[in-house]
Structure formats: structure tokens, C-alpha cells
Structure 1
Amino acid sequence: MASSPRPLPWILLGAFGTAVMLALGFWLDPVWWLMWTAPIPMLLAVPRLGFWAALLTAEAAWLGGTARIWWYLADSLEMAPVFIVVSVVVFTGLYTAATLLYRALMRRGRHWAAFLAFPAGVVAVEYLGSVINADAGGEWWSLAYTQAGQTAILQLASVTGIWGITFLLMAIPSAVATILAPGARRGLAVGIAATAAACLAAALVFGLARPVDQGPTVRAGALALPTDEDSIPVDTDKAETLFARYAREIERLGAADDLDLLVLPEKVFHTTEAQTGPYLDRWSALAVSSGIDLVLGLAVESDGHTYNAAVWIPANGHNTAEYRKQHLIPGLEDWMTPSDNGPVSIPGVGGGWALTICKDLDHAAAIAEYGDEDFGLVLAPALDFTIDGWWHSRVAVTRGVEQGFSLVRAGQIGLMTVSDARGTVLAEDARLAVADVPTEPVQTVYDRLGNWFLIPAFAILLAGIVLAVVPRRGNVAASDPDTKE
């Protein structure tokens, strides 16, 4: 495939076309449908360009398309500049490498390999990113979450995890670009189109027809009252005022007799070791008087450390439980100590309920333990950053689809979200969300087999790399097409 004699229009189309759509589609409140078309301009352009022009085009497309996310991490999460710079270089470089692999295969006439290698390469980038950034980010970064509002597509996570959704999301534009490439024979184009369409249709049919029976329901809610501070010391006037406001609201909900349990946000108050017991007694009295089981988020000092804790406070006054957050936000939560205790089940409810906290839901491996223990309902105090309320809640909802549990998540400065094991959002609000939420666990393929989809994805990627290096027999010129550019 010869280079275009006028490369500038293709550079502009590939770089800016993809960057604009990706910036809107891969965002904290995404325009989800743009993700199904975003890579097309870039993939149309790079086979028509010389190597350096293609490299520039791909880098500009990926960097421009992800720039808003990098700014959010630097501005809202206050992550270290060196972390941001290194992450930008690594992610942009890896995405560009996947794009250049597509180009190399197309220029060698290996259209089928190009069509499949590009989505496999993007999956590999996301997985490697989750490994490199295992402690800080986990699986927070994925194109798959842009589809978390599309319940039919989201069901694929119950089989493949986020990796299958990313693969499908990139395979469709890869197929379109490959079919539209010069030299694509009619039979080849029909075969690629039919394969892509069949995969999309299979995912939709499965997503629409997937049976999910979670049995009995409980009336559950998530509540966050406005405050300009978190981890408020309980011996301050501000803490007393906020406690009084929560008490009035909880008593009001209890008087309406329309709520069984209520989840409050992450680390609302801060208690010292001596204060914790008496302070929890006050909340226990509130739970008993209102008749509502409570989950309270606290910063708790214990044994010389401060932990981010979720405390189960039942309405019967007995059998409390405490879970401590395992994954902390680098920088913002350096003053706290992470826990390695794993899931904590809630006693006295017949089993199947558990506690977690906010960022732990970004980590698929940690939440896999909840699926292993057959929890059907997970209660999660959380704290977001205003603009990321949709995204962060949908990462959490996706974990529920993967492992087969319902979720009640209270995201201060974000969203209150109640969802089931299909990822259906049953209720959502910035202040109070209440719904009848099912409580039985659902068995999923992903829970049983884990990251099995990475095996075929990496096999496809490896085969693509080999085919990009090995020249086609009888086509010596095609073995090094850039030599004549």
C-alpha cells in the first residue's frame, strides 16, 4: 500500500477526527456512542501515510483524545506531576504502538490480522496499565466503562470482564476502517463485516436475554448531606451540626417506614481511639430509634494508625461490623493506613451482604473475592470529586456485573447509586437514592474463570506482531513498504 502523495489531509483527519471524538467519548460523563466511531479516522489515515507521519498522527490522536482525563487526574485527584507525565508517555506510546501494528499489517495486505490485532492491542494496553498501576489505579482506566450505561452491552462483563467490552468496542471501528481501505477485496470485506456484525449481534442478544434472578429484595438507600469537608473531628461544632442534620433526616425516613437500610458516605467523621466507642453508641441509638440499619463512613484512629472504615450499625443494636479500606488514593490519603483484611460480611442478615469502600471497587482482583464468597449485596460508602460522579459510580456498577452482586453506593460530592447484578441503575440522585434492591448472588463466568479473555486477546496480538514482521511469500516489496516512500 503506497503512501498518500498528499499526506497532510490524512494527518489532519486522523489526528483531529479521532482526538475530538475520543475526547468526548472517553470522558467522565461520556458521549457513549462516539466510542464506536472514534478510532475510524485514525485507522483510515495511518496505512496511507509514511511511518513518521503515521506515528505523529497516532500520537496526536491518542494524546489529544485522553488529555481531559490526564487533566482530571492532575487537577481533581492532585496526583504527582511525575506520575502524570510518566503515565501519559506510557499510555500514549502503547496505544500508538497498537495503531502502528494495524498500519504494518494493512500495508502487508494482512487485512484480517489488522482487523483483529488492533482491538487486541488496545486490550493489552489497558491490561498492562492495570498491572503497572496496580496499587494506585487498578482497573479504573478502561474504554469499556463508556458503555456502562448501555445495559445490554454491559452484560458482556459478566463473561469476559471489561476486556471483552473494550475488544468489541475497538473491533467495530477496526472493521469499518479495514473494509474502507484501498485494496480491500469484496470477499474479504464481506467476511470482515459479517464477523464484526455477528460479534456485536451476539453480544446484544446475550445482553438482552441474559437471565438474572436475585431473589428477595430489601428497601435500601444511599444518603449524603452537603458538607465542605470530610473526616470532620467529632469533637467540633461542625461535626455536631452535621450529625444533627443526619439524625433529623434519618428519623424522618424512619417515620415514613419506607426504608430498611441506609448507606452514608466515606469518612464523614474522624474519631480518635478513645472517641470511637462512645460515638458509635450515638449512631447505634439512632439506628434503633429509626428502625433503619446504617452503614457509616469514618476515619478511625486505632493502634497508632488511621483507617478509612465502613461501620455496619444494625437497627437491632447488636452485631456491628467494621470494614477497612484496602486501596487508598495516592497523595490525598497518604495520612491513612491501608488494610489487607479482605471482605467483611455483615452478620445477622442470613449471609450474603458485605461492606466495601469507594476505590476498592476500582480493583477487579479485590472485588473478585466478593464473588468468590457469593455476596449478593455490597454496601459502599464513597467519596467522589463532583465531575467524576457518573464515571466512578459506573466503574463500581461494572464490578457488580462481573461478580454478580447488587450495589448500594453513597458517593459524597458525586452520586447516590443503587444497582442490581445486571448493572441496571434502580435509583440515582445527588442526595438521596432509594430502591428495592435484590439481595441474592448471581453466578457469572467471569467470577469462575477470571481474566480468561486475555488469553485469546494476547494470542491474537502475538500472531499480529509475527505477521507484521514476517514478509508474505512471493511479495518481497511488501515486506518493507516504507523503503519506497
Structure 2
Amino acid sequence: MAISARSLVARRAIATENGPKNFANSWFWLAVGAALLPFGVFQTILPLAAWCAPVFLLRFSRTQRARVAVPVLALVHYLASMISLRGGLIPEDLLAFYALGGVLGVLPFVTDTVLRTRLPGWARTLVFPSTAVALDWAFGLSSLGTLGSVTYSQFGFASLTQLASVTGIWGITFLIVWLAPVTNELWEHGFDWRATYPAVIPFAAVLLLTILLGELRLAFFESTVPTVRVTALTPDRELSLGVRSATGAALASGDEEVRAAARAQYEPITADLLMRTRSEARAGAKVVSWSEAAALVLKEDEAALIGRARTLAREEGIYLSLGLVVQSRTDRHPFAENRAVMIDPSGQVVQDYFKTVHPLGEAEYFAPGPGVIATTDTPYGRIATVICFDADFPALVRQAGQARADILLVPSNDWQPVDTIHARAATYRAVENGLALVRPTGNGISIAVNHLGQTLATADYFTTPALTMVADVPTRGVATVYARLGDTFAYVCIALLALLGAAALAAGRIGRR
């Protein structure tokens, strides 16, 4: 009967919320939440908006009937996706993505509505964030990975970011979204501390402890190991202008005239990259990494290009990672290979990584790689490589953490609407796996960070014709809990949601007796 009594108290509290004044005000809170929601993900990020938007939208959900709240909130999330992306995806992906955003966005409100009245105050605050983490994790399995996670809005909140070394991004998502039900518990009880402290104290304690431990990690775990000079190169923008659109369509046909024209356009870009690589090596760089698809090369010319790079690496004594798109002569898929080829100072090829994830139409041209991250031991630490969107999949990149890599190269190629958030998202892989990360990026933001996610260097492709970013990178990483346990926190949230659902179901049955 005790469970039934608590359920009855909760239902009376909710009924009180649906008075005429609160019913009218709920539309105001909807407007506030809807205005903030687009600024929590993708573009034009306002970090505080990510915390506040769910608070006001949950207020609306709890003061409206479900048949009104659910479709309205689905529409709000649909529109928020349109605003936050606004040109970030190619047109054929937009409608499906926005619709998915509407459906997934409203599900935490649905579970909150269904379960909360049958659970005690402290327990019902866990329904909303557990659902959000479960959905965040599930969406991370899509071709866009975790790029849409609200966690990435907190770039710059360094003490909070350190939580990723333990829970991955899922713990940060949980904390951000947990604020909404806790605040609404206070709101629904007239901010009466005596009635709500069992719900408020756990949230406040976990948040404060997270920030405190994060500050301690920043203060006492800063890297003091030797560094290595790493240079990130992108192709000359003027030389690259129009090359892909002018030559890409007919290459697979095998027409010699078309392929000869493509070769003539590719050679100046490759020659420029090799020349700049040599210059950076003589300036002190020990590792040089090109951006994704920096050099386009025909399959029949691949061996010659790699041979030139091997000679350069041997003569200059550097580790050189080539970002290549190798275009085959074939009428069958795959038509090209997206690769990162690393050459050591002896001139040997020590890595040949094929990009694993090909989003937004790339899969029409490329086959996925095997998804195995190779590592190479060097005098400057153990170096691993992934390519661009691969870094949006924490479970994939975790291979580098498990292998105790010290430096992760992430050659990338972006597009302007998502260049900033994509660069920031990649930095969380460094914190999760306790390694330094260098991300040379064409058509975007190049960035280098240490294992704490602190920025070592950054450069914007659109502000210089031939982008060269130089960073002194720590040569030793650190072990992390996330590298060992992976997405365990996300699985715990999924299990917790199932347990809360079972408890609510049991409470409902007892209450009917």
C-alpha cells in the first residue's frame, strides 16, 4: 500500500499542475524551450541552451494532455533540426533526418509521461535522462554517428568534459538532461525544499562531484612528457578548385583521354603537398599528416605517388601520413578508395587504413574498410589513424584507447555548415581514450588537442589558401576508464530505464488491488 500511496500523491501533484493558469502558461514555456532548442546541437551553439531547453519543454509536457504535448513536441524537434542544421546535409537526406529528429526528440517526454506518476520523486527524475542517453546511443549507430549529441555543445566546459574519460559522452548527456526533471520536481512543488530534496540532492551532488573531479584532473594530470612537432597539411585551395566536379563523373569508364585530363589536374596538387611536406620536415616536423582526400590519384598512378612519398620520408627522416582518394578503372562498386597511408622514416609503408564510415552519399563510391585501427610504435609514441567520420563513433575509436595509443591522427574533410561542431566533437575521442589528437581538415577546422581535450593548435581552411597547422603534441597518453569499459554507462542507462518501467508497471498493479 505504501507504493500506492506515493503514486497517489504524485498524481495529485500532477493534477494540481494542470490548473487554468499553469495550463495557459505552459504554452509560454513551450515557446521559450522551442526558441532555445536549435542552439544545443550542430551550428550556432549556446552551451546554456542545451541545459535549459529541456527544462521548459518538459514543463510544457507535464502541464498538457499527452495527445496535445506529443505531436506538438515532435513538431518542435522537427523544426529545431531544420534550424540547427540549415544546409548541413545534402538535400536528399534532409526530410528523413528531420523526421527522425522529431520522433527521437519526443520519446523522452513520452516515457516521462507514462512512467513518472507511478514512481517516487527521486526515481522518476531518472526516466527522462535514461531515455535520452538510450536514444543518443542508438542514434550513434546510424551513419551520422554521435555528431548530433547534445554533449558536444559543452566544448570549452573543460571540467565537465573530463567525465568522458570515465563514461564516454553518455555521462555528460545524462547530466545535461537530468536537470530538466529535477527542476520540474522543484517547480511542481512550489520550490519547496522539504518536499523535493530527495530528488534534488542526488543531482546536485553528482554534478558538483563531476566538476570537482574534473578540475582536479585538469590540475594534476596535465601532461609533462616530451612533445613532438606534428604538422597538418591541407591541399592548396586554389589548385583544388573545381577538380572533383570537373573530373569525377567519367573516370570509372576507363576512357584514357578523361583519365589523362584528370592526371594533369591532380599532379600540381600532389607536387605542392610533397613540396610543403619537405619544407615542414626541414622546419622540424617529425610527423606530417595530410587531410582526408588531400591527394587524388588514379589507381594506375598510385604506386608512383607512394614511391615519391617514401623517398621523401626516408630523405627527411619523418613519419608521413598521406590522405588519398585512389580512383579505380571499373564499372562496379566500389569506384574509389578513401585511405590514409603512413610511411616511416625508413621509407616503409607501416599503415594503410581504409575509411570505415562513408556517410551522406559517399557509400555510392567507396566500400567500408574493415574497421580495424592499426597502430605504429614510433620514438614519439604509438600512433593510430582514423579518417573523418570514423571519429564520430566512440566504439570504433576506442580501439586506439585499448591499444594504448598516444597520438591519434584524424585526417578529415568537412563542409562549412558543420565544420566547427565536427572539429569539436572529435576532441572528445581524445579525452575518452587518453591520447593526443591531430585532425588535419580540408574545407573545415583543423585542430590538435591533448588527452584533456585542451586545444594545442587550430586553423581555419577558409582563411588561408594553403593551410598548414603546426602543434607540439605530447608523446605519451594516459589510461582511461572509458578505454577499458567502453559504453557501459549507456548500457546501464538502458537497463535502468527497463527497471524503472518494470517498477512503474508493478506499482500500477499494486495500486489497482
TM-score by length of 2: 0.82
Shift of residue 449, structure 1, vs aligned partner: 1.1
Q: Given the superposition, is the C-alpha separation of residues 140 and 185 from structure 1 closer, same or farther in structure 2, using an over 3 Å criterion? A: same
Q: Say if 1:352 and 1:376, in contact at 8 Å, map to a contact too.
A: yes
1:24: which partner in 2? 39
1:202: which partner in 2? 209
Distance 2:381 2:275 in 1: 30
Shift of residue 107, structure 1, vs aligned partner: 4.7
Shift of residue 194, structure 1, vs aligned partner: 2.2
Query: Which residue of 280, 284, 288 maps to 1:253?
Result: 280
1:228 and 2:241 equivalent?
yes
1:459 and 2:495 equivalent?
yes
Q: Given the superposition, is the C-alpha separation of residues 194 and 445 from structure 1 closer, same or farther in structure 2, using an over 3 Å criterion? A: same
Distance 1:405 1:301 in 2: 33
Distance 2:56 2:325 in 1: 49
Distance 1:193 1:344 in 2: 46
Q: Say if 2:299 and 2:328, in contact at 8 Å, map to a contact too.
A: yes
Instruction: Map 1:303-314; keep pairs closer than 5 Å.
Output: 305=334, 306-314=336-344
Aligned residue for 2:473, secondary structure, equals: strand
Q: Given the superposition, is the C-alpha separation of residues 112 and 244 from structure 1 closer, same or farther in structure 2, using an over 3 Å criterion? A: same
Shift of residue 247, structure 1, vs aligned partner: 4.2
Query: Which residue of 100, 109, 128 maps to 2:138?
Result: 128
1:379 and 2:397 equivalent?
no
2:269: which partner in 1? 242
Query: Which residue of 440, 449, 461 maps to 2:485?
Result: 449
1:482: which partner in 2? none
Shift of residue 31, structure 1, vs aligned partner: 1.2
Aligned residue for 2:53, secondary structure, equals: coil
Distance 2:305 2:197 in 1: 68
Q: Given the superposition, is the C-alpha separation of residues 475 and 338 from structure 1 closer, same or farther in structure 2, using an over 3 Å criterion? A: closer
Instruction: Map 1:44-83; keep pairs closer than 5 Å.
Output: 44-69=59-84, 71-72=85-86, 75-78=87-90, 80-81=92-93
Query: Which residue of 284, 305, 308 maps to 1:282?
Result: 308
Deviations along 1:279-336, one digit per CA (max 9) or x if unpaired, are 1223334445555532211112579652111112345434453211111124134211
Distance 1:102 1:184 in 2: 20
Shift of residue 160, structure 1, vs aligned partner: 0.5
Q: Given the superposition, is the C-alpha separation of residues 439 and 94 from structure 1 closer, same or farther in structure 2, using an over 3 Å criterion? A: same
Amino acid of the structure 2 residue aligned with 1:338:
P
Aligned residue for 1:39, secondary structure, equals: helix
Amino acid of the structure 2 residue aligned with 1:209:
L
Amino acid of the structure 2 residue aligned with 1:236:
R
Distance 2:106 2:88 in 1: 27
Amino acid of the structure 1 residue aligned with 2:324:
L
Amino acid of the structure 2 residue aligned with 1:433:
M
Distance 2:502 2:192 in 1: 23
Q: Say if 1:364 and 1:399, in contact at 8 Å, map to a contact too.
A: yes
Q: Given the superposition, is the C-alpha separation of residues 198 and 470 from structure 1 closer, same or farther in structure 2, using an over 3 Å criterion? A: same
1:265: which partner in 2? 291
2:447: which partner in 1? 417
Q: Given the superposition, is the C-alpha separation of residues 244 and 86 from structure 1 closer, same or farther in structure 2, using an over 3 Å criterion? A: closer
Shift of residue 76, structure 1, vs aligned partner: 4.0
Amino acid of the structure 2 residue aligned with 1:439:
T
Aligned residue for 1:322, secondary structure, equals: strand
Deviations along 1:456-481, one digit per CA (max 9) or x if unpaired, are 312332243345445569977xx9xx
1:483: which partner in 2? none
Q: Say if 2:381 and 2:475, in contact at 8 Å, map to a contact too.
A: no
Q: Say if 1:130 and 1:139, in contact at 8 Å, map to a contact too.
A: yes
Q: Given the superposition, is the C-alpha separation of residues 182 and 264 from structure 1 closer, same or farther in structure 2, using an over 3 Å criterion? A: same
Shift of residue 366, structure 1, vs aligned partner: 1.5
Q: Given the superposition, is the C-alpha separation of residues 243 and 274 from structure 1 closer, same or farther in structure 2, using an over 3 Å criterion? A: closer
Distance 2:286 2:475 in 1: 13
1:321 and 2:336 equivalent?
no
Q: Say if 1:292 and 1:315, in contact at 8 Å, map to a contact too.
A: yes
Which segments of 5 or more consecutive residues in structure 1 lack a partner in the other structure?
480-485
Shift of residue 271, structure 1, vs aligned partner: 2.1
1:39: which partner in 2? 54
Shift of residue 158, structure 1, vs aligned partner: 0.8
Deviates more, 1:238-247 or 1:18-27: 238-247
Aligned residue for 1:346, secondary structure, equals: strand
Distance 2:242 2:136 in 1: 34
Distance 1:472 1:183 in 2: 26
Query: Which residue of 95, 102, 105 maps to 1:95?
Result: 105
Shift of residue 148, structure 1, vs aligned partner: 2.8
Shift of residue 348, structure 1, vs aligned partner: 5.1
Q: Given the superposition, is the C-alpha separation of residues 214 and 275 from structure 1 closer, same or farther in structure 2, using an over 3 Å criterion? A: farther
Which segments of 5 or more consecutive residues in structure 2 lack a partner in the other structure?
1-13, 248-258, 461-466
Q: Given the superposition, is the C-alpha separation of residues 54 and 398 from structure 1 closer, same or farther in structure 2, using an over 3 Å criterion? A: same
Q: Say if 1:26 and 1:65, in contact at 8 Å, map to a contact too.
A: no
Aligned residue for 1:308, secondary structure, equals: strand
Distance 1:455 1:323 in 2: 30
Query: Which residue of 178, 182, 187 maps to 1:180?
Result: 187
Distance 2:480 2:52 in 1: 30
1:436 and 2:476 equivalent?
no
Distance 1:353 1:245 in 2: 25
Amino acid of the structure 2 residue aligned with 1:201:
L
Query: Which residue of 302, 320, 340 maps to 1:294?
Result: 320
2:226: which partner in 1? 216
Amino acid of the structure 2 residue aligned with 1:245:
D
Alignment: residue pair count = 468
Q: Say if 1:15 and 1:60, in contact at 8 Å, map to a contact too.
A: no
Q: Given the superposition, is the C-alpha separation of residues 315 and 123 from structure 1 closer, same or farther in structure 2, using an over 3 Å criterion? A: same
